[in-house]
Amino acid sequence: EAGVAQSPRYKIIEKRQSVAFWCNPISGHATLYWYQQILGQGPKLLIQFQNNGVVDDSQLPKDRFSAERLKGVDSTLKIQPAKLEDSAVYLCASSLGASSGAGANVLTFGAGSRLTVL
Amino acid sequence: GESVGLHLPTLSVQEGDNSIINCAYSNSASDYFIWYKQESGKGPQFIIDIRSNMDKRQGQRVTVLLNKTVKHLSLQIAATQPGDSAVYFCAEASYKLIFGSGTRLLVRP
């Protein structure tokens, strides 16, 4: 089965510029996640979608980050304007169902999009 | 919970030896735990999971142990191979999945 596809793999921008990342989850996976992974740290959840609805965006810096999953399949994550501290790998993951307690599903991750903000 | 650190703890083992990677979690309400392996330039890859009603689960060359009393999780890798070199993350789930800071495993030939 095809994995989670992400693009671009690498992006270098200057601070205050904007950037967008794209994710295509595994076919049939209802839940999609965006994680931010800063160098040397574990992934941190930014936003979780169930189909095209937002389940959790409590850690998303909404003044500069936005994400959408309009048709319940592909998703985009946008940063505008970017700050130096946004330099990180942005990981997209998907799972069959919602991650919730004992019913948590296994997440399959994409390779990530590495962002460098200068 | 999450720890913030620029330097990952590192475990160096000889090829063929067993590896034990430890993880402490913070939320006593977490009822599901997962170990992920992340190789350089790749996303995390599922290794093994365990639910809170179990204290041990075995896979192929890997065993996860859960001690809920002290909120501790460990991953044991038998006969460690060069391909096991990676960063290993434990993750805990209550209503959402939270990753730990990771441990780098280096396998010496």
* Tokens encoding A91: 């990981």
Could you give the number of structural domains in chain A? 1
H-run or E-run covering A40: none
Query: Cβ B101–A41 below 8 Å, yes or no?
Result: yes
Average pLDDT, chain A: 91
Could you report the per-residue pLDDT of B10-44, keeping only the tens digit for each? 999 999 999 999 999 888 888 899 999 999 999 99
Is the residue at A54 inside a domain?
yes
- Phi/psi for B82 (5° steps) reads -55, -35
Residue A56 lies in a domain: yes
- Report the pLDDT value the prediction gives residue A100, as an integer from 0 to 100: 47
Separation CA A94–CA B2 (nearest Å): 22
Question: What pLDDT sits at residue B5?
Answer: 36
Q: Let me know if residue A58 belongs to a domain.
A: yes
Cβ separation of A42 and B100 shorter than 8 Å? yes
B6 has a pLDDT exceeding 90: no
pLDDT on residue B31 = 87
Overall CATH class of domain B10-108: mainly beta
Could you tell me if residue A102 is inside a domain? no
Distance, in Å, from the CA atom of B32 to the CA atom of B40, rounded to the nearest integer, reads 26
Tokens for A21, please give them.
Answer: 């990342």
Q: Is B2 helix (H, G, I), strand (E, B) or coil?
A: coil
Q: Do B95 and A108 touch (CB under 8 A)?
A: no
- Torsion angle, alpha carbons of A81, A45, A77, A4, to 10: 150
Residue contact A40–B7, C-beta within 8 A: yes
- Rounded CA Rg of chain B: 13
Q: Which of B43, B49, B51 sits opposite A112 (nearest CB)?
A: B43
> Average pLDDT, stretch A91-117?
81
Tens-place pLDDT, residues A3-33: 999 999 999 999 999 999 999 999 989 999 9
Residues of B with CB under 8 A from a CB of A: 2, 4-8, 31-32, 34, 41-46, 49, 51-52, 89, 91, 93-102
pLDDT score, position B96: 78
Query: Which residue(s) pair with B98 in the sheet?
Result: B92
Contacts (Cβ under 8 Å, ≥6 apart) of B108: B12, B13, B14, B15
Q: A50 vs chain B: nearest CA distance in angstroms?
A: 13
Q: Is A47 on the interface with B (CB under 8 A)?
A: no
Q: Is A103 inside a domain boundary? A: no
CATH of the domain at A36: 2.60.40.10
pLDDT of the residue at B66: 96
Number of A:B CB contacts under 8 A?
68
> Two tokens at B67?
């001690």
Q: pLDDT per residue over B43-99, tens digit each?
A: 999 999 999 999 999 999 999 999 999 999 999 999 999 999 999 999 998 777 889
Q: What is the DSSP letter of A107?
A: P
| Any domain includes A11 | yes
Residue A88 lies in a domain: yes
**Residue A108: enclosing H or E segment and its boundaries?**
strand A108-109
Using alpha carbons, select from B76, B56, B82 the residue that is nearest to residue B68: B56
Beta bridge pairs of residue A66:
A78
Tell me whether A112 touches chain B (CB under 8 Å). yes
In a domain, A28, yes or no: yes
